[in-house]
Structure 1
Amino acid sequence: MSFTSPSGESAPTESDVIVVGAGPGGSTTAAYLAQHGLNVTLLEKSEFPREKVCGDGLTPRATRALTRLGVDTSQENGWLHNKGLRVYGGRTEPFEMDWPDLTDFPPYGLVRPRADFDDMLAKHAVAAGATLLQNTNVDGAILDDRTGRITGVTTKDGRRYHAPLVVAADGNSSRLAVSMGLNKREDRPMGVAVRTYYTSPRTNDDYLESWLELWDGERGKSNLMPGYGWVFGMGDGTCNVGLGVLNTSKGFGKTDYRELLKRWTDGTPEEWGFREQNQIGKVQGAALPMAFNRQPAYGRGLVLVGDAGGMVNPFNGEGISYAMESAEMAADAIVEARSRGFNTSSAERAMRAYPERLKAELGGYFRLGTVFVKLIGDPRIMKLCTTYGLPRPRLMRFVHKLLANLTDAHDGDAADRIINALCKAAPSA
């Protein structure tokens, strides 16, 4: 294993690729590259295990990404499996929908705390041959004065690392991308999510739970609040409970999200345990950058993966699966570029295939998502959807597939064919 001490002592200063950020996108990129024999330095500003704000629930799309990476997702390996989604909205009783039975995706999702999940992925990258440096806070790019191309990075404590290609996997704020003039696009949706944990008898739930209506009391007799909520049983005596608000909502940026979470959970049944006296840890929040809100995904030697490139699904706020998928696509391009000789014109053509592939595979779907979030930002439309759309099981199964982006590319059913056609017809985000 190429693991170094948290201080980064004896670390290489020259690599084939530098990856900044050891979250799901960064560690997955590093693992794939190391598996192909590249010399990879993975720089992480914190020290593992460390906490990240997340729902901790994964759909079958993320399960597939983990399986492709070679991660054992069995229950014996510490994963909690779930078999579908329970949706509250439009009526008192929820809808329960199993994950679709597909060729392209497994029939189960997963739950695992992010502190453990990210630690596991980083160790997986190290086991593949990557060098992990913790407590290494990157604060800027080293640029070639002639070309403006990135040739390495500097850290807050004065260290310098060099490589022909640098991957920015440093999250929503992506200080590295910003230092190269890549700022967020304002025409893309953005969300804010907050979550905390409660001890709860609902901890052993084999469905992920989504709330499309947030009432601060009894349904229909209290205030309908902006956003959507979730409850994910962790299997350890606790539940991860949180909510998200989109910037298409009138309440975005003007809401005390922690107070909003309290008002909603105070309206849930007492026996669930979602009360202040059962809360574990603080309420914490994070931004959800959606639909490629930072572009281009490759340029001047810098590769964006995951949240750094705004690769969160606008339909459901899911980010981990897309971080891992973009990481695999980026690694494919980098491996091809290395085979052609870094810094050659042929290698540059190989690298340009990465953003083109992203847009071909996800661009149309993300564009549909941007339309969706604009529509549901209007409470009148949301009320129509929950009142007239949700009570129809066949429509709900279609929406379930659409929101989770779970369809078969070939030989799928009618819903799959409709969703795939819509994604192909939509212009790329």
Structure 2
Amino acid sequence: MNDHKQPEYVDAVVVGGGPAGATAATCLARAGYSVMLLDKGGRIKPCGGAIPPRLIEDFAIPDALVVARVNSARIVSPSERYVDMPIDNGYVGMVDRDEFDEWLRERAAAVGAERRTGAFRRIIREDSTGVVIEYKDTSASGGRETRLVHARALIGADGANSAVGKQTIPGADCIPYVAAYHEIITSPAANDRNFDPARCDVIYRGTISPDFYGWVFPHGKTTSVGVGSAVKGFSLRGAVDALRADAGLEGAETIRREGAPIPLQPLKRWDNGRNVILAGDAAGIVAPASGEGIYYAMVGGQYAAEAVIGLLHTGDARALKMARKRFMKAHGQVFRMLGMMQRFWYANDGRRERFVRICGDPDVQFLTWDSYMHKRLTRARPMAHARIFFKNIAHLTGLAPA
């Protein structure tokens, strides 16, 4: 290990070992570059844990990590109206983030990335040769010593409050987000009090969240019960208590509690134009309205790594801009649509009531699940899109009953 005055040298440092960072480190190591994966360790993001089949295919996720396969969702309105959304010819995979994220980090190490347990402190120097970063070694044998590493490129995958982003990327310090909190509990058997181990529940009610939603997502032996909101002072724990009571889960054992900000808008810029780029939550790539982030984090991590490979191979820093350009080309339209949906339909309980009614439409259900599972806007059924358009107009104008 190096002392404070003698930095190590690597091609790239990835700060943050979640899905974005671990994927980026794997991609870089497989390409033959020396990469340090710096992660605090012991941190698990609050997350429903849902992943689409597209992620499982694209990133070669083994079956053992998929702890449950959900075949339907139940959408709950403010007036307790239930709309079931069965998934035809598909499923939603559920993972437990402590096991899933660690497996991704171990995969990165297996292909050559060097894992380090430590906390990023600051960038000491940044110039045409790369960046020198300072971090605190928090491993069991590290003695909490401060160390330096020199890298030709730096990927910040350190979450919504990215320290890397705040030091290097304009706008990274004011990214909009919701505060999320959940409790991982022991799953009971199916009961008659609104819990089904093969169904995800999504609750739209102002008392549960005034501007987002609550969830009950089963993970096989465990279940995530959580809520998100950007309203300051709103009691997230109180909302989770209410969710557990509604689902008959108030007596279930609580395994752990977690909270963190979830960004809801991609940053307009992901790189500093020289040698630093952001990925995952640090870049703001969590889907509005749904809060889905794992798939987008891994895609963003891959794109960031491939952009860095372009930089390392050519020396041309313009390669870094390709990550955001590729991501927005593939997913920008979906993000814009979901953003508009959240701003309108989540505004109050009257609109939430109408939104849940729309979710009962067969065309809406088909297009929702097809887009989710395959991560594309479905274009094969133009009449379905037309019907949804006119139904939305009817709800927006109040012509349709709530």
Superposition TM-score, scaled by structure 2 size: 0.81
Q: Contact between 1:170 and 1:308, CA under 8 Å: does it hold in 2?
A: yes
- Once the 2 structures are TM-superposed, how far is the Cα of residue 356 of structure 1 from its aligned partner? 1.6
Partner of 1:113: 96
Q: Contact between 2:160 and 2:262, CA under 8 Å: does it hold in 1?
A: yes
Partner of 1:94: 83
Match of 1:258 among 237, 244, 247: 237
Match of 1:244 among 228, 242, 257: 228
2:45 is aligned with 1:52? yes
Unaligned runs of 5+ in 1: 102-106, 217-223, 419-429
2:304 is aligned with 1:330? yes
2:137 is aligned with 1:165? no
Partner of 1:220: none
Per mean C-alpha deviation after superposition, the further-off stretch among 292-301 and 372-381 is: 292-301
**CA deviations over 1:383-417 (Å, ceiling 9, x no partner):** 3323x423333234334556x37455687333798
Structure-2 change in CA distance of 1:177 and 1:184 (3 Å): closer
Structure-2 change in CA distance of 1:316 and 1:23 (3 Å): same
Q: Contact between 1:204 and 1:234, CA under 8 Å: does it hold in 2?
A: no
**CA deviations over 1:176-222 (Å, ceiling 9, x no partner):** 11122534475x65222211133322487233332233667xxxxxx
Partner of 2:364: 395
Partner of 2:179: 192
Q: Contact between 1:196 and 1:279, CA under 8 Å: does it hold in 2?
A: no
Partner of 1:372: 341
User: What letter matches 2:198 in structure 1?
Assistant: D
2:127 is aligned with 1:151? no
Partner of 1:427: none
Q: Contact between 1:375 and 1:382, CA under 8 Å: does it hold in 2?
A: no
2:270 is aligned with 1:296? yes
Q: Contact between 1:297 and 1:354, CA under 8 Å: does it hold in 2?
A: no
Match of 2:189 among 180, 195, 201: 201
Match of 1:37 among 32, 37, 42: 32
Structure-2 change in CA distance of 1:82 and 1:348 (3 Å): same
Structure-2 change in CA distance of 1:334 and 1:278 (3 Å): same
Match of 1:319 among 281, 293, 305: 293
Match of 2:59 among 50, 64, 69: 69
- Once the 2 structures are TM-superposed, how far is the Cα of residue 137 of structure 1 from its aligned partner? 0.9
- 1:221-240 equivalent positions in 2, closer than 5 A: 227-236=212-221, 238-240=222-224
**CA deviations over 1:265-292 (Å, ceiling 9, x no partner):** 32x15xx3x11x4241454321111221
Q: How many residue pairs get matched?
A: 371
Match of 2:204 among 209, 212, 215: 212
- Once the 2 structures are TM-superposed, how far is the Cα of residue 55 of structure 1 from its aligned partner? 1.5
Partner of 2:12: 17
Mapped to 1, the partners of 2:383 and 2:61 lie a distance apart of 30
Percent identity among equivalent residues? Answer: 23
User: What letter matches 1:52 in structure 2?
Assistant: K
- Once the 2 structures are TM-superposed, how far is the Cα of residue 95 of structure 1 from its aligned partner? 0.8
Q: Contact between 1:44 and 1:133, CA under 8 Å: does it hold in 2?
A: yes
Mapped to 1, the partners of 2:384 and 2:105 lie a distance apart of 34
Q: Contact between 1:298 and 1:355, CA under 8 Å: does it hold in 2?
A: no
Mapped to 2, the partners of 1:185 and 1:137 lie a distance apart of 19
**CA deviations over 1:104-126 (Å, ceiling 9, x no partner):** xxx33322211111111000101
Partner of 1:81: 69
User: What letter matches 1:44 in structure 2?
Assistant: D
User: What letter matches 2:12 in structure 1?
Assistant: V
2:351 is aligned with 1:381? yes
**CA deviations over 1:162-181 (Å, ceiling 9, x no partner):** 11110001111111111225
Structure-2 change in CA distance of 1:410 and 1:278 (3 Å): closer
**CA deviations over 1:303-324 (Å, ceiling 9, x no partner):** 1000011110002001111110
Name segments (4+ residues, structure 1) moved above 6 Å.
Answer: 415-418
Superposition TM-score, scaled by structure 1 size: 0.76
**Partner secondary structure for residue 159 of structure 1:** strand
Instruction: Name the Cα RMSD after superposition.
Output: 3.2
Mapped to 1, the partners of 2:234 and 2:215 lie a distance apart of 18
Mapped to 2, the partners of 1:416 and 1:311 lie a distance apart of 28
- Once the 2 structures are TM-superposed, how far is the Cα of residue 226 of structure 1 from its aligned partner? 5.0
Q: Contact between 2:69 and 2:91, CA under 8 Å: does it hold in 1?
A: yes
